[in-house]
A and B are shown apart, each in its own frame.
Chain A
Amino acid sequence: MMQARRIAVVAAALWAGMALALEPLSGYTFLAAETRAMQDDEFENPGMMTVDQGAVLFREHRPYEEHACADCHGADGETLDREKIASYPVYDETLGGLVTLQEQVQHCWEINMDRFPLQYDAPELVALETFVRNRAHGQVIRVQTDGPLAALLQQGEQLYQTRFGQTGMACNQCHVQYQGQMLRGQQLSQGQANGFPEYRLAKGEITSLHKRLRQCFISFRAEPFEAGSDEFRLLELYLMSRANGLKIETPAVRF
């Protein structure tokens, strides 16, 4: 009898723990008060500089060119669809399947504006992505998880659970299994992607999602995949779907 009750209590505690682990928490909740204040203040947030750089590019009208981003989307991006921004990556057959927000911007840049194509994670693209995502600041992320994206999502999740490098560690171990624990002086967050591109205080720079993934791989002592590679785009899809329900914080400030 005693034993049965004990088992019931343990089962209930485990269930509660699982429910807690499933609830998405922004990296913001793991921050010190002063870092939160820095993110919340538009003048203190160092990532706002990149938003401004993005705004300049967004409005830039080059000689002999027909269009600027602002011609279609408004000088301040006011006609951009906030809900659409919060749904990336999306599936678009005409663009070859999975499309990240940065690829969508690059598509506009190269095809609609007829400019020389930019490489994935080029500073211009990161600035434009930061500006565009910042237009949807506070918008709840809703990435499609069914239809044509379901199979891709599974591949992304598989990568998330794959051990890499000499340490043989996988993303889910730190950010699911041990979230909230201390890794030396740093608390492990859920590794949510709702604030990217974000300003990293330790590096002192704006950091795109793929660049952050690269840094994680380097700390695994693994050979990183390229920015814009299939692997990192699939990981982005899985990460953004994990963030469903969280609000866009771009540019977030993180350690």
Chain B
Amino acid sequence: MKLLLKLLVAVLMPWPLLAGEQLPLPAEYCNWEVQDFSIKQPLCDLRGDPEQGRRIVADSHGGNCLACHRLPIPEEPLHGTVGPPLDGLAGRMSTGQMRLHVVDQRQFNPLTIMPGFYRDPRLANRVADAFFGKTFLSAQQVEDVVAYLETLQ
């Protein structure tokens, strides 16, 4: 009987909580789904603004895409060479593919250096307090960036 009780307690213990696996997602986080290596549905069904996206892409405190990529933004003098140049990107990729690249590049390439800008924040390791539980960009910002990338014909 005692053994049975112990077993019952063991089964009913909130193990996942102890293992720290059940950190709640931030309320504003929208789930996304990968199909054919793309995210076809806009995040949170939001509509992006390409003008805003262009600003985020160049802002070193925003997406800072220029840190690694060359982009047709001539007024910014310094463009990185870590990632591929993105000129004409929309001619090579569908919108859904671009969205997945920005959201979580590791879905394509598990070894990539590129941060996942809307990756599940629970998957990150040793995040600084100020960024804990947050995505790098908001869903709106991701959609703005995708809307800008769509203009790169």
Partner-B contacts on A (CB < 8 A)? 162-169, 173-174, 177-178, 181-185, 188, 217-218, 221-223
Query: What's the minimum C-beta distance from B144 to chain A, rounded to whole angstroms?
Result: 19
Q: Which of B54-92 contact A (CB under 8 A)?
A: 60, 64, 66-68, 77-82
Q: Which of B94-111 contact A (CB under 8 A)?
A: 106
Question: What is the bound-complex CA distance between A164 and B127, given in angstroms?
Answer: 7
Determine which of B77, B80, B82, B115 lies in contact with A167 in the assembled complex, contact meaning CB atoms within 8 Å.
B115
Q: Which of B116-142 contact A (CB under 8 A)?
A: 116, 119, 121, 124-131, 134, 136
Dominant SS at the B interface?
A: loop
| Additional A-B contacts beyond A166-B131, A188-B82, A223-B127 (19; CB < 8 A) | A164-B125, A164-B126, A165-B125, A165-B127, A167-B115, A168-B106, A168-B115, A168-B125, A182-B78, A182-B81, A183-B80, A183-B82, A184-B60, A185-B77, A185-B78, A217-B128, A222-B125, A223-B126, A223-B128
* A/B interface sample: 30 pairs, CB < 8 A: A165-B125, A166-B115, A166-B121, A166-B124, A166-B128, A168-B106, A168-B119, A168-B124, A169-B115, A173-B113, A174-B113, A178-B82, A178-B113, A181-B80, A181-B81, A182-B79, A182-B80, A182-B81, A183-B67, A183-B68, A183-B80, A183-B82, A184-B66, A184-B78, A184-B80, A185-B77, A221-B130, A222-B125, A222-B126, A223-B127
Q: Inside 8 A of A164's CB, which chain B residues have their CB?
A: 125-126
Question: What is the bound-complex CA distance between A167 and B116, given in angstroms?
Answer: 7
Evaluate contact between B128 and A218: CB separation under 8 angstroms: yes
Evaluate contact between A162 and B125: CB separation under 8 angstroms: yes
Evaluate contact between A221 and B128: CB separation under 8 angstroms: yes
Question: What is the bound-complex CA distance between A223 and B126, given in angstroms?
Answer: 6
Question: What is the bound-complex CA distance between A167 and B121, given in angstroms?
Answer: 10
Evaluate contact between B79 and A184: CB separation under 8 angstroms: yes
Q: Inside 8 A of B66's CB, which chain A residues have their CB?
A: 184
